[in-house]
Amino acid sequence: MKKEKEPIVINLSNSNKNYIYYHESYLLQQLTYYPFIQLGVILLFIVVAYLAFSASRKAEQNQVWVGLTKETAHQLGTPTSSLMAWSELMKERLPEIELVSELEKDVKRLEIITERFSKIGSKPTLKPTNLLETIISAVEYLKNRTSDKIIFKFEFPEEETTILLNRSLFEWVIENLCKNSVDAISNEGKITIGVKELKNKILIDIADTGKGIPKSKYNTIFNPGYTTKTRGWGLGLSLVKRIVENYHKGKIFVLNSEIGKGTTIRIVLNYKAKSKL
């Protein structure tokens, strides 16, 4: 006790002194730690409550996403079927008009878009797919409907690159990213799409010479509702992120960007297959 606490001195008569030695009881020691344990339990409850709320909110957002896409696919289905019938009729009666073939292409595109929306919310089938051919197919459609002042450039490896993809959904990813790049370029510029392999990963870089993105917005641009356009819901990049990360187990992020010079967005995919289709 003498080592733990200074003794209490009691002065008695005749210059006599008594010394009282003491130490803290086991119960008092427990009470000393009790506030910290209580605080830890409260913090634990707060963390659990926050995680439960966050999971509930995310599940609710997912249900809204799925419901929105399914309803969109349903609403597009009827007019698309009607347009397909009209385009077939026009092709039979007016085969000499070139615009009929272009109309047919756009109707088929609507059919593909309807199929894409219908796949959101359900587990997509991934098949060995020629990645380079998929990218070219997506870009060529967009290129024919974009200003000639915007140049598309491919930087592909010499060998064929085959990985597990859902082609329909991944073409949607490339189209959305390229459309954003086109919107970021005011008058004329260049969009470069590069593909390379690095440590069993496939890196896909889409670089443009547009207006650029502030560093503070690197992560924000993939959030639902974020848009810099006067029109639109800000869902494109959010869907892109969902397709890449949830369905293909990859990653998508802003690799670099400079205001007034351009932006590079990178997609990282796992290299699952390498063979000729």
| Per-block mean pLDDT, blocks of 10 residues, the chain (277 long) | 83 81 81 87 93 81 68 70 76 73 76 72 81 91 83 89 88 90 88 90 93 87 68 70 89 92 93 49
**Same domain assignment for residues 156 and 215:** yes
User: What's the pLDDT at 277?
Assistant: 39
**Same domain assignment for residues 113 and 140:** no
Residue 277 lies in a domain: no
CA nearest neighbour of 261 among 212, 188, 207? 212
CA nearest neighbour of 244 among 171, 182, 193? 171
**Same domain assignment for residues 63 and 134:** no
Residue 179 lies in a domain: yes
Question: For residues 276 and 162, is the Cβ–Cβ distance under 8 A?
Answer: yes
**Same domain assignment for residues 198 and 146:** yes
Residue 187 lies in a domain: yes
User: In 141-261, which ranges are E strands?
Assistant: 150-155, 162-165, 189-198, 201-208, 251-258
Number of domains into which the chain is organized: 3
**Same domain assignment for residues 133 and 223:** yes
- Cα 276 to Cα 160, 161, 162, 195, 273, distances in angstroms: 7, 8, 7, 17, 10
Phi-psi region of 11 (alpha: psi -120 to 50; beta: other; left: phi over 0): beta
Domain assignment of residue 27, given as a range: 8-54
Residue 275 lies in a domain: no
**Same domain assignment for residues 91 and 207:** no
- The CATH number of the domain holding residue 157 is 3.30.565.10
For helices 98-119 and 26-93, give the axis angle rounded to 10 degrees: 160
Radius of gyration for the chain, computed over Cα atoms and rounded to the nearest angstrom: 32
- Cα 115 to Cα 66, 122, 172, 230, 266, distances in angstroms: 14, 12, 11, 27, 26
CA nearest neighbour of 248 among 265, 266, 270? 270
**Same domain assignment for residues 227 and 178:** yes
